[in-house]
C-alpha cells in the first residue's frame, strides 16, 4: 500500500509541477507576440501588413517598405474609408467602382471563425426565429428548439413541450428527407441582424439542410435540391463539421462551412453556390479564419501559431492573389527553446483548440531528455552510495526518469521510503 | 469494532454535521429563491437565453461549498485526533492499521456525501421546475467536478493533518492546494466531460494518501 501511495504522490506531484512550473515560467518570460494583420490594397494590387515589432505598430508592404499612417490609409482606401471620407480624401472610384458611403457600408463582409467555436460545449436548445413575421424587426420566439434524435419546441414560460408545433416540424423534416439524429447545427440566434438566415443542419448521413421558420410554419430544404446542377454534386459530397451563419447586409453569403477534410467553403447566392476557399494550410483545430469583404475583393486569412496564409478573391470568388508567411512559434523563440530544454514536458488543461477541458501536452527538446538521463544516473549513484538502491525507491527513480527536474524536486520534498 | 468506530465518529461530529446540513440546505433554498426572483423580474425567455448563451447558472454561488465542507469536515474529524496524538489509540486497536484509518475516512466521506445531498436535491428539483432536462445534465456536469473536489479536499486535509512532521505538512499543504485548484477550473456546460473519468480515478486514488500519513504517524516520525 505504501509503495502505491508514494507512487500516486509522485505521479500527482509530477503532473502538478508539469502544469504549474511552466505556467510560472511563461508568466515571467512571455512577450507580446501578435501575428501581422493582412490587408490587400485594391489600388496597388499587393498585400499590406500591420505588424507589431517590439510593442510598436509598423505598417508595411510585402517588400518591407514602411509606410506612415496617412500613406497606408491612402493605399487601402476601402479599409479606411470612414477616415478618408472625414479628411475629404476618399477617391470617387477605384478600378471603375464608385466608392459611395452607402455602398461601402452595405457591401462590407466580416466573419471570424476560431477553433473554440468549432469544438465547444453547448446546450442543445436554441431559439428558431421567425424569418418572416411581417414585423419590421426580428423578434425572439417564446420557445426553444431541441434538435437531436427528434425536433421539439419547448415553451420557456411553461417549460412544456409544444406537441402540435413539434409534430408539424417533425413532419416537415420527414418530408424533406431528413434522417435523424441531427449531427451539426449552425445558426445565429440573435435579433441584432438585418434578416434571419435560419439554421443549417447536417443530418445523420451528413447531408446539409437549410431550416427556417416562416410565419410559424417550417421551411426546410435539402440544400443540394436548391443548388444549381453544377453545385449539386458538391453539396451531396459535403460532410460538414461546422456551419458559421452570420447575416450581413449584402445577403450574399449564406454560411461558411468547414468540412471533415478541413476544407472551408462559402455558400453564396440564390443558387447556394458552393465555393471552396483556396487556402492550402488551413487547420480549423489550430487556426483562426478571418473573412473581410468589400466592394471589390474578399480577403480570407488563416492565422495559426506558426503561419499566416491569406488569399484574395474577386467578387466572383476567383483567386486574385495569395500570400503565405511562416511565423515563429512560441517554442522556437529563445524563451521557448530554454523552456523546452528545462521542462521534459508541459501539461495544460485548457487549450485554444477547443472549449473542452482536456490534457494537452508539449514535449521538451532532446536536451531535456538528456537532462532526464543525467539526473537519473546521478540519482542512481546517490542512492547506491547511501545503500538505498532498493525496490521501495522505484517511485523516486521513475519520477526522475520521466519527470526530470520535477522528479528531483519531489524526491527532496516528499516523504522518503523506509 | 467497525460499528463502534463509526458510532464514535458520529458522536464526535453529529452536532457540527447537523449544523452544516441545515446551513447548506438554507443556502440552497436561498439560491432557489433567487432563481424564482429572476423569473419574476424577467421573462422566462431572457433567463433561458442567459443560461444557453451566456452560461448563467443559478447554483454557481455554491461552487466552493464542497471544497469548504471537505476541509472543515476533515479538520473537525481529525484535529481532535491529532491533538495530544490521540490517533495513536485508534492505531493501537486490535484492527489492521489501514483498516482503522479507512473506517474513519469512510465515515467522513459518507457524512460529507449525506451533508450535501439534501441541498443538491433541492437545487435539482428547483432547476428542473424552471428549465428542461438539459439543465439537469448541465447541473450534473458542472457540479460533479466541484463535488469530486470536495472529496479530494477532505482526503487531502486528512493527509496534511495526519502527516507528523511540519516540513512535510507544508509540502502536503502546497500539493493539496495545487491539486484542488484543478477541480475548480471554470467551464461551461459539459466542458469537463473529457476530463471527468480521469478526475474520478484521481479522487478515488487519493484515498491512499491519508493512509500514507497515518502509516508515518504510527511509526512515530517527527516525535
Cross-strand pairs, A348: A360
Cross-strand pairs, A298: A293, A313
B205 closest CB neighbour out of A8, A156, A356: A8
For chain B, give me the number of helices (H) and strands (E)? 9, 0
Q: Do A357 and B49 touch (CB under 8 A)?
A: no
**Alpha carbon distance B31, B23 (integer Å):** 12
Does residue B212 lie within any of the structural domains? yes
The whole-chain average pLDDT of chain B stands at 90
Does residue B223 lie within any of the structural domains? no
Residue among A20, A189, A415, A416 with most chain B CBs within 10 A, to mutate? A415
Say what the pLDDT of residue B93 is.
65
**Cα within 13 Å of Cα(B209), Cβ side:** 31
Residue ranges of chain B with per-residue pLDDT less than 50: none
Residue ranges of chain A with per-residue pLDDT less than 70: 417-418
**Is the previous residue joined to B50 through a cis bond, with omega within 30 degrees of 0?**
no
**Sheet bearing A199-202, strands edge to edge:** A184-187, A199-202, A208-214, A217-222
**Alpha carbon distance A177, A173 (integer Å):** 6
Does residue B147 lie within any of the structural domains? yes
B45 closest CB neighbour out of A122, A140, A355: A140
Interface of A to B at Cβ within 8 Å reads 1-2, 4-6, 8-9, 12-13, 16, 19-20, 121-127, 140-142, 144, 146, 154, 156-157, 159, 189, 349-350, 355-359, 413-415, 418
* C-beta of residue B195 within 8 angstroms of C-beta of residue A358: yes
A124 closest CB neighbour out of B47, B134, B192: B134
Nearest to A292 by CA among A42, A20, A13, A25: A42
Nearest to A42 by CA among A298, A276, A316: A298
Q: Note the pLDDT tens digit of each residue in A29-45.
A: 988 888 999 999 999 99
Give the closest-approach CA distance of B210 to chain A in angstroms: 9
Residues 56-95 of B with CB under 8 A from A: none
Say what the pLDDT of residue B91 is.
67
List Cβ neighbours of B64 (8 Å cut-off, separation of 6 or more).
B146, B184
The Cα diameter of chain A in Å comes to: 88
> What's the pTM?
0.89
Residue among A2, A3, A4, A5 with most chain B CBs within 10 A, to mutate? A5
Say what the pLDDT of residue A358 is.
95
Q: Do B98 and A415 touch (CB under 8 A)?
A: no
A413 closest CB neighbour out of B51, B130, B171: B171
Say what the pLDDT of residue B95 is.
66
The whole-chain average pLDDT of chain A stands at 93
* Residue B124 lies in domain: 2-218
Say what the pLDDT of residue B222 is.
65
Own/partner contacts of B2-7, CB < 8 Å, gap of 24 or more, are B2/B103, B5/B90, B5/B93, B5/B100, B5/B103, B5/B104, B5/B107, B6/B103, B6/B106, B6/B107
Find the residue in A nearest to B206 (Cα).
A8
E-assigned strand segments in B3-117: none
Say what the pLDDT of residue A359 is.
95
Q: Do B187 and A357 touch (CB under 8 A)?
A: yes
User: DSSP 3-state assignment of A110?
Assistant: strand
A210 to A134, A178, A185, A265, B24: CA distances (angstroms): 21, 11, 10, 16, 48
- Looking at the 3D structure of chain B, how many domains does it have? 1
A121 closest CB neighbour out of B45, B191, B208: B191
Give the closest-approach CA distance of B86 to chain A in angstroms: 22
> In the numeric block, which cell numbers belong to residue B46?
431572457
List Cβ neighbours of A20 (8 Å cut-off, separation of 6 or more).
B178
Q: Note the pLDDT tens digit of each residue in B89-126.
A: 666 666 677 788 888 999 999 999 999 999 999 999 99
What was the ipTM of the complex prediction? 0.89
**Sheet bearing A273-276, strands edge to edge:** A240-244, A253-259, A264-268, A273-276
B54 to A123, A258, B39, B63: CA distances (angstroms): 11, 25, 16, 17
* C-beta of residue A399 within 8 angstroms of C-beta of residue A410: yes
What percent of chain A lies above the pLDDT cut of 70?
Answer: 100
Does residue B98 lie within any of the structural domains? yes
Q: Where are the domains of chain A?
A: 2-31+337-413, 38-103, 111-276
B208 to B60, B148, B159, B215: CA distances (angstroms): 31, 16, 9, 11
First to last CA, chain A: 13
Find the residue in A nearest to B99 (Cα).
A1
* Partners of residue A356 in chain B, C-beta under 8 Å: 187, 190-195
Amino acid at each position: 500500500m505504501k509503495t502505491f501511495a508514494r507512487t500516486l504522490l509522485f505521479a500527482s506531484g509530477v503532473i502538478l509541477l508539469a502544469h504549474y512550473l511552466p505556467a510560472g515560467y511563461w508568466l515571467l518570460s512571455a512577450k507580446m507576440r501578435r501575428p501581422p494583420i493582412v490587408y490587400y490594397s485594391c489600388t496597388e494590387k499587393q498585400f499590406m501588413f500591420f505588424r507589431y515589432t517590439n510593442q510598436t505598430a509598423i505598417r508595411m508592404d510585402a517588400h518591407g517598405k514602411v509606410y506612415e499612417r496617412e500613406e497606408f490609409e491612402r493605399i487601402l482606401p476601402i479599409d479606411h474609408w470612414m477616415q478618408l471620407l472625414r479628411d475629404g480624401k476618399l477617391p470617387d472610384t477605384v478600378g471603375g467602382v464608385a466608392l459611395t458611403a452607402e455602398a461601402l457600408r452595405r457591401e462590407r463582409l466580416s466573419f471570424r471563425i476560431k477553433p473554440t467555436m468549432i469544438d465547444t460545449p453547448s446546450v442543445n436548445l436554441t431559439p428558431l426565429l421567425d424569418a418572416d413575421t411581417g414585423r419590421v424587426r426580428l423578434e425572439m420566439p417564446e420557445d426553444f428548439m431541441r434538435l437531436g434524435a427528434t425536433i421539439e419546441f419547448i415553451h420557456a414560460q411553461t417549460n412544456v413541450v409544444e406537441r402540435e408545433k413539434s409534430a408539424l416540424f417533425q413532419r416537415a423534416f420527414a418530408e424533406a428527407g431528413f434522417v435523424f439524429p441531427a449531427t451539426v447545427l449552425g445558426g445565429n440566434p440573435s435579433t441584432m441582424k438585418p434578416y434571419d438566415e435560419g439554421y443549417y443542419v447536417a443530418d445523420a448521413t451528413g447531408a446539409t439542410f437549410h431550416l427556417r421558420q416562416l410565419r410559424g410554419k417550417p421551411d426546410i430544404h435539402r440544400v443540394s435540391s436548391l443548388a444549381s446542377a453544377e453545385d449539386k454534386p458538391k453539396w451531396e459530397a459535403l460532410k460538414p463539421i461546422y456551419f458559421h451563419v452570420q447575416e450581413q447586409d449584402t445577403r450574399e453569403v449564406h454560411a461558411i462551412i468547414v468540412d471533415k477534410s478541413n476544407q472551408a467553403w462559402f455558400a453564396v447566392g440564390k443558387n447556394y453556390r458552393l465555393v471552396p476557399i483556396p487556402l492550402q494550410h488551413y487547420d480549423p483545430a489550430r487556426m483562426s479564419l478571418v473573412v473581410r469583404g468589400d466592394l471589390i475583393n474578399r480577403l480570407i486569412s488563416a492565422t495559426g501559431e506558426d503561419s499566416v496564409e491569406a488569399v484574395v478573391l474577386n467578387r466572383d470568388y476567383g483567386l486574385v492573389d495569395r500570400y503565405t508567411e511562416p511565423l515563429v512559434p512560441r517554442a522556437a523563440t529563445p524563451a521557448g527553446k530554454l523552456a523546452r530544454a528545462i521542462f521534459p514536458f508541459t501539461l495544460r488543461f485548457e487549450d485554444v483548440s477547443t472549449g473542452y477541458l482536456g490534457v494537452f501536452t508539449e514535449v521538451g527538446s532532446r536536451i531535456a531528455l538528456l537532462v532526464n538521463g543525467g539526473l537519473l544516473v546521478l540519482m542512481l549513484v546517490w542512492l547506491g552510495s547511501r545503500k538505498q538502491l532498493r525496490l521501495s525507491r522505484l517511485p523516486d527513480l521513475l519520477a526522475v526518469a520521466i519527470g526530470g527536474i520535477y522528479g528531483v524536486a519531489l524526491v527532496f520534498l516528499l516523504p522518503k521510503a523506509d | 469494532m467497525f460499528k463502534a468506530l463509526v458510532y464514535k465518529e458520529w458522536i464526535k461530529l453529529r452536532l457540527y454535521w447537523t449544523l452544516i446540513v441545515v446551513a447548506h440546505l438554507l443556502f440552497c433554498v436561498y439560491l432557489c429563491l433567487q432563481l424564482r426572483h429572476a423569473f419574476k423580474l424577467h421573462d422566462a425567455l431572457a433567463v433561458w437565453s442567459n443560461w444557453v448563451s451566456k452560461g448563467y447558472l443559478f447554483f454557481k454561488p455554491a461552487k466552493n461549498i464542497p471544497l469548504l465542507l471537505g476541509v472543515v469536515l476533515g479538520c473537525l474529524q481529525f484535529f481532535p485526533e491529532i491533538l495530544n496524538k490521540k490517533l495513536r489509540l485508534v492505531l493501537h486497536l486490535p484492527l489492521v492499521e489501514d483498516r482503522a484509518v479507512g473506517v474513519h475516512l469512510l465515515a467522513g466521506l459518507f457524512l460529507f456525501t449525506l451533508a450535501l445531498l439534501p441541498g443538491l436535491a433541492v437545487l435539482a428539483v428547483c432547476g428542473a421546475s424552471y428549465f428542461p432536462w438539459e439543465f439537469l445534465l448541465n447541473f450534473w456536469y458542472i457540479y460533479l467536478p466541484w463535488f469530486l473536489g470536495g472529496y479530494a479536499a477532505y482526503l487531502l486535509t486528512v493527509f496534511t493533518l495526519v502527516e507528523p512532521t511540519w516540513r512535510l505538512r507544508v509540502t502536503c499543504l502546497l500539493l493539496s492546494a495545487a491539486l484542488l485548484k484543478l477541480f475548480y477550473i471554470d467551464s461551461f456546460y459539459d466542458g469537463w466531460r473529457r476530463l471527468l473519468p480521469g478526475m474520478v480515478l484521481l479522487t478515488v486514488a487519493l484515498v491512499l494518501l491519508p493512509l500514507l500519513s497515518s502509516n508515518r504517524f504510527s511509526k512515530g516520525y517527527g516525535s
